[in-house]
Chains A and B, each alone.
Chain A
C-alpha cells in the first residue's frame, strides 16, 4: 500500500508543481503591462528627482522589473518544466513501462497548452527557427557522435536504399494518392492541387530521427534493426530538403518543367554530398585543433561542440543538408579527437551531449503538444484519415518492395519479422511539423498542419506504444549485452585481415579490400596529422587494450568495495595461464598512458578512500561470494600495484616519481591493511618466488583494497627473484593467489 500511496502523492506533487510553474509564468506575463507602467513611473520619478526637488517621492527600496529578464526567465521555466516531467516519469515506474516517454511528454504539452489557452493567453507555438537552430542539432550530434560505425558501414547500402529510394517512393505515392483523394467531390478539397499534394507528401514521408530515437531507445532492439531504421531517418534528410524546396518552388510557379526536374536531381546530389563535405572539412579541422589542446584541457569539449555546430550552421547557409553535415563532422572527428583529448574531456563531451539531447528531446515533444492546442486547425475528416492510411500503406509497400530487392545483395537477409519492425518503426515527428509550419500562410497550410499533427500523434502514440509488446510477441532479437572482450577484438581484426587476404588471392576487389585500403591510408597519412604525439602510431589493437584497461581501472575504483565485478568471479589468474618459465618484465602501457592512468587513479583514490571509511569491515567479508570477490580483487590489485611499481623501476629516469607515489600509498585506515596482518606472518614460502614482480626499490606499502586494480588481464609475468624488504616479500606472498593466505587474512579483519 505504501508505495502506491507514495507514488500517488508524488504524482499529485508533480501535477501541482506543474500547475504552479505554468501559472507562475503566465502570471508574470500578465504582469508585463503593470510592470512597464510602474518602471516607467519610477524612471520618470528618478529623472524628476534629479531635475527638481519639487517632487518628493520615496526611494524605492524594492522594485519590480520583470521585462528585464523576461525571455531568459521564461526559457528557463520551460526547461525546468521539461526536466520535472522527465523526472516525474521515471519516479513513477508503472506508467513508463507501458507508455513511451515521448507520448507522456506530448500529453503534458497538451495539458499545458490547454491550461494556457484556458487562461486566455496564446500558447507559444514551436517556432521553426527555434526548432531547427537550437533544438534539433544537439540530438543529431549526440546520435552522430556515438553512431556505431561498424554496423553502420556494413549496412550502408541498405540504409541508403531505404533513405533515398524509400523516401522518394513515399513522397510520390502519398502525394499522388492524396491528389486522387482530393478529386473526390465529397471531400470539398478541389482547391488542393497536385503540386501542393506533392509538397505535402514530401513533408510527411520522412522518418523522423527524434521520434525513432525516443521510441527505439526504450525497446532495446538488436543492433541491425536499430541502425537500419535510425540510419535511414538520418540520411533521408537530404531527400526531404531537396524535395521540399523543389516542390515549394514549383508550387510557387505553378508549373513543373523538365529542366526543373533535372535540376532537382542534380540538387539532390549537391545537397547530400555537399553537406557531407562540409561536415568532413569541419571534422578534420576540429581533429587538427584537438591535437594542440593539451595546453588547455578545460576547453577541449567546447571545440567538439562548436565545430560540429558550425558545420551544421554552415550547411544550412547554403541550404545543404545540415543533418548530414553534422553526422559527417561527428563521425570524422571522433576517432582522432578521442585519441587526443583527456579522459575527463571525453567524459564531459559524452555527458554534455547526452544532457543537451535529452533536454532538447523533452522540449520538442512538449512543444509539439502545446502547438497542437495552439495552432489554427482545419479539420477535414477525409483528408486526415486518408493521409494516415496512405502513410502506413506506402511505408509497408516500400519496405517490402525494397527488401525484396536488397536481399539479393545482402549476406544476412532481412526476414519478415525484420521487415515488419522496419515498417512499423517509421515514425514521423517534429521535423515534419516544423517543415509544415514553414509553409506560406494560406488555408491549405492549416489543413496540412492538422493532417501532419494527426499523423505524428498516430505514429508516436499508437505505433510507439504498441511496438514494445509487438517486439516481445514476435520475439525479435534484442540487443545483446556486449562485454568488451579483447578476444573478440583480436579475432575481429584477424578476420578482417584474413578476409582481405583471401580477397586479394582471388583478385576480387570486395568490401574488405577497400576497407583495408582505407585503413592503411588512414594510418599512414591521416593519423600522423591529426593525432598528437606517439598515439598517432598506436595500432588499433593496442589502443583498444589500453582503453579497456583504463575503463576497468575506473570501474574498479568506482565500485569501491561493494564490488559488482562482472566477469571476475573467477579464481583464474595470470599464473594459471602462463607456463612456469622465465618470463621477462614487460611494460604493457606506454609512458604517457601510464601517466594518464595514474592520474585518473589518483583522482579517484581520494573518493574511494573516503567511501571506504564508512564501510564496516565486517559486512565486507561476510558472504562466500564476497570472499571470492575480495580474493580476486586483492589479487588484481596486487597485480596493478606491481605493474605500477614496475613502471617506476624500469627506466632510470623515473626515479623521481616514487616519492610522489609514496604519499598516496600510505595506508591511513585500518581497512586497507594487509600490512597489519602481514608482519606477524613473515612467511616467505618458496611458491611466492614465482610470482614476484620486479620490485626493485619500491619502499611504498602497497595500498591494498583501495588501490585500483588496473585490470584483470595480463599482469606482469612472474619475474626474476626479488629480494627487497620483508614487507615487500610478504606482500608479494600475499599476492600469491591462493585461497589459504587470503582466507586467513580475511579472518583477521573480524575481531
Chain B
C-alpha cells in the first residue's frame, strides 16, 4: 500500500491546526454535492470496518493513514498478480461495497437497506415516488434470491443478501478493474501529509 499511491485532498490546507479531518470537512467538498450517494461515501471513510482491523463502529475523525487505508481499496490490481491475489483483491473490494450497503453491520443486506440504496441512487433524479424505488429494490432482491436460493418453500423468509450471495450476483462485473482509480499523476515530492505542522 503506498502513501505514494495517492494525492492528498485539496482541502488539507485547512487541516493545519487539526490533527485529522472529520465528516464536515468532507461534506464541504463542493464537487460532491451532485453525487447521490455522498452520504454513504463519506460514511465509508469513517467506517472502522474499512480499516482492515476487524473493528466495528465508526470514527469521528480520520488521519491520513486511515484515509489511505480507505483509498487502498481502489487500487488497481497489478497485472503480474497471481490468480489468488486477484481473488483476494476482488474480495476486498466487494467487501468494501458490501459494508457500504450493510449499515447495521449484521452481515446481511436486508430489504430495507437495499431499498435505501436504490432510493439514494434515484434521489438526484427529481421527484421519484418511493414506490418505484421500492419495486426496483424488491425486484433486485427477488433476483438475488432466485439465483442463490432457487428452491425456497413458500413460507421461508429470505433474510437478506449475505456476502457470498453478494459475490455471486456481482460476479459478472470485473471488480478488479472496474473499481479502481488510476492515480497516474502523482508526484511524491509535492505530497503533503495531513499533519502539516508535524
Given contacts A488-B169, A570-B146, A576-B145, contact A497 B154 (CB under 8 A): no
Q: Mark B25-46, 1 if CB is under 8 A from A, else 0.
A: 0100101101111101100010
**Interface presence of B156 (CB below 8 A):** yes
Q: A505-B41, A571-B151 are in contact. List 13 more A-B contacts (CB 8 A).
A: A413-B79, A485-B169, A487-B140, A494-B117, A495-B173, A516-B34, A571-B150, A571-B154, A576-B156, A576-B158, A586-B132, A587-B131, A713-B135
Q: What is the distance, in angstroms, from A505's C-beta to the closest C-beta of chain B?
A: 6
Residue of A nearest to B149 (CB): A572
- Bound state CA distance, A629 and B190, in angstroms? 64
A537 touches B126 (CB 8 A): yes
- A491-B173, A588-B131 known; A507-B10 Cβ under 8 A: yes
Would A577 and B142 count as touching, CB distance under 8 A?
A: yes
Tell me if A412 is interfacial: C-beta within 8 Å of chain B: yes
Report the bound CA distance from A507 to B30 in whole Å.
11
A481-513 residues at the B interface, CB under 8 angstroms:
482, 485-488, 490-495, 497-508, 510-513
> Is there a chain B Cβ closer than 8 Å to A541's Cβ?
yes
Chain A residue at minimal CB-CB distance from B169: A487
Q: Is A26 at the interface (CB under 8 A from chain B)?
A: no
Query: Is B179's CB under 8 angstroms from A490's CB?
Result: no
| Cβ B139 vs Cβ A713 within 8 A | yes
Which of A499, A572, A736 is B146 in contact with, Cβ under 8 Å? Answer: A572
CA of A657 to CA of B116, assembled, Å: 34
The CA of A501 and the CA of B30, in the complex, are separated in Å by 11
**A541: min CB distance to chain B, Å:** 6
Is A545's beta carbon under 8 Å from chain B?
yes
Interface size on A, residues (CB 8 A): 72
Whether, in the assembled complex, B108 has its beta carbon less than 8 Å from a beta carbon of chain A, the answer is no
Q: Complex formed: what's the CA distance from A510 to B179 in Å?
A: 13
Given known A-B contacts A490-B117, A506-B7, A586 and B179 have beta carbons under 8 A apart: no
B134 contact set on A, CB distance < 8 A = 586, 714, 717
- Asked whether, in the complex, the Cβ of A497 is within 8 Å of the Cβ of B146, the reply is no
Interface residues of B in 167-185 (CB under 8 A from A): 169-170, 172-174, 177-185
**What are the residues of chain B within 8 A of A738 when measuring CB–CB?**
154
Min Cβ gap A331→B in Å is 22
Closest partner residue, chain A, to B93 (CB atom): A495
21 contacts across the A-B interface (CB closer than 8 A): A486-B136, A495-B97, A495-B178, A495-B179, A497-B121, A504-B29, A504-B31, A505-B9, A507-B9, A513-B31, A539-B128, A541-B121, A545-B136, A570-B151, A573-B154, A578-B111, A585-B131, A587-B132, A712-B143, A714-B136, A717-B138
A302: chain B residues at CB < 8 Å are none
Q: How far is the CB of B144 from chain A (nearest CB, A)?
A: 6
A737 interface residue (CB < 8 Å to B) = yes
Given contacts A490-B117, A539-B122, A713-B142, contact A587 B154 (CB under 8 A): no
Instruction: Across the A-B interface, give the 5 residue pairs with the lowest CB-CB distance, nearest first.
Output: A713-B139, A586-B131, A714-B138, A588-B135, A539-B125
Question: Does A584 lie at the interface of the complex (its beta carbon under 8 Å from any beta carbon of B)?
Answer: yes
Task: Check if B158 sits within 8 Å of A577, measured CB to CB.
Answer: yes
- Chain A residues contacting B89 (CB-CB under 8 Å) are none
Contacts of B126 in A (CB 8 A): 537
Instruction: Given the known inter-chain contacts A575-B154, A587-B129, please indicate yes or no for A498 contacting B41, CB distance below 8 A.
Output: yes
